[in-house]
Amino acid sequence: MATIAKTKTCEIKCINKSDRFNPHERITHVGGYEDRPWKITQETAIALIESEEWQFWVKPPYGDPVWVIVAKSRYGHKYLKTVADGEEPNNLLSLPECP
C-alpha cells in the first residue's frame, strides 16, 4: 500500500533582512514559534514550498491570513511573497525581526 505524504503548514511570524534595498533580496531568513522558535533561510523555505513538503502563511496586521508563494523577479531571482502582494513582498517585509 502506498503512503501519501501530507503537506505541512506553518505560520511565518518573523523575518531577518539584509541591508539591501531590493525587495527581492532583502529577506534572508523566515521564522516563527509554535512549540519552540524556528528559523530557516529563504532558500530553504523556497525549496520546501517547491517540493510541496511545506506551505507557509502569514497573518497580516489587518486582514485574513495569506499563503506564501515562490515568485521570480524579472531577472530570474526566486524570492518569497504572499499571494496578496504585488511585485514587492510587503506582507513579509512588514513582519518583525527574528531573534
Report the domain count for the chain.
Answer: 1
* pLDDT at site 87: 55
Residue 3 falls within a domain, yes or no?
Answer: no
Q: Which of 99, 97, 92, 84 is nearest to 11 (CA)?
A: 92
Q: Is residue 2 included in any domain, yes or no?
A: no
Q: Give tens-digit pLDDT for 1-24.
A: 555 567 799 999 999 998 866 655
pLDDT tens digit string along 21-44?
665 568 999 999 978 999 999 999
DSSP string, 22-75: -TTTSEEEEEEESSSEEEEEHHHHHHHHHTTSEEEEE--SSS--EEEEEEE-TT
Given a cut of 60, is residue 89 above it in pLDDT?
Answer: no
40 inside domain: yes
Domain that holds residue 75: 8-93
Does the residue 42 lie in any domain?
yes
Predicted confidence at residue 74, as pLDDT, reads 84
**Residue 67, pLDDT above cutoff 70:** yes
Q: Is residue 82 part of a domain?
A: yes
pTM beyond 0.95, yes or no: no
